[in-house]
Chains A and B, each alone.
Chain A
Amino acid sequence: NAGVTQTPKFQVLKTGQSMTLQCAQDMNHNSMYWYRQDPGMGLRLIYYSASEGTTDKGEVPNGYNVSRLNKREFSLRLESAAPSQTSVYFCASSVQGDHGYTFGSGTRLTVV
């Protein structure tokens, strides 16, 4: 049982480049989330998808887009990377928002 799988695990981008972070869960969860973690700031919600076909902004959505491709997959895209987007990105899923969350192992992104 893989749980929540994120790819890639590490990535270095140059300013202005684009990339997509992939996330997939195999637990038949309805809700999926993208968080970023920065030193001293804790985890902050970027975007979430309460169910297949819906997406909503979180606390820090600027500079990001998301796609809920199907029930299993939720991707995060950086269209034009900036150094301020250097962070560790975590994907999570939940049966519903009022249930416990399961997190992936994270993607460490550096923008130079």
Chain B
Amino acid sequence: KQEVTQIPAALSVPEGENLVLNCSFTDSAIYNLQWFRQDPGKGLTSLLLIQSSQREQTSGRLNASLDKSSGRSTLYIAASQPGDSATYLCAVGNTDKLIFGTGTRLQVFP
């Protein structure tokens, strides 16, 4: 059974720092991996989608990498801003399903 773990569960950093969020999964037979952002009381916003054949994807200040063989993905956020404060969710796609980690709650303070 696929299990997805995100570390750390919570993170508090000052504005301007570069930071890394980690995601690990137990079964390397995945189709893709997707990073989402969730603001309190809101839905999920897709940030980046990495197909299983890809090693990384970039969007603005965000960069996500994927290492299938080791069962790991990282989300790199450059020059963090208070507006980046949210919960970040990692999800792996297996056949017809998307399996989620429990998220990293990020707070960026001025």
Binding site for B on A (CB under 8 A): 31, 33, 35, 40-45, 48, 50, 56, 58, 90, 92, 94, 97-106
For the complex of A and B, 10 pairs with smallest distance between CB atoms:
A97-B96, A98-B31, A105-B43, A100-B49, A42-B102, A103-B44, A43-B100, A42-B100, A50-B96, A106-B43
Task: Add 19 more A-B contacts to A100-B49, A101-B34 (CB < 8 A).
Answer: A33-B97, A35-B100, A41-B102, A42-B100, A42-B101, A42-B102, A43-B91, A45-B98, A48-B96, A50-B96, A92-B44, A98-B31, A98-B32, A98-B95, A100-B32, A100-B34, A101-B46, A105-B43, A106-B42
Q: Does B21 contact A (CB under 8 A)?
A: no
Contacts of A105 in B (CB 8 A): 42-43
Interface of chain A, main secondary structure: strand
User: Contact between B97 and A48 (Cβ–Cβ < 8 Å)?
Assistant: yes
Q: What are 30 A-B contacts defined by CB distance under 8 Å?
A: A31-B96, A40-B102, A41-B102, A42-B89, A42-B100, A42-B102, A43-B89, A43-B100, A48-B96, A48-B97, A56-B96, A58-B97, A90-B43, A90-B44, A97-B93, A97-B95, A97-B97, A97-B98, A98-B31, A98-B93, A99-B32, A100-B32, A100-B34, A101-B98, A102-B46, A103-B36, A103-B45, A103-B46, A106-B42, A106-B43
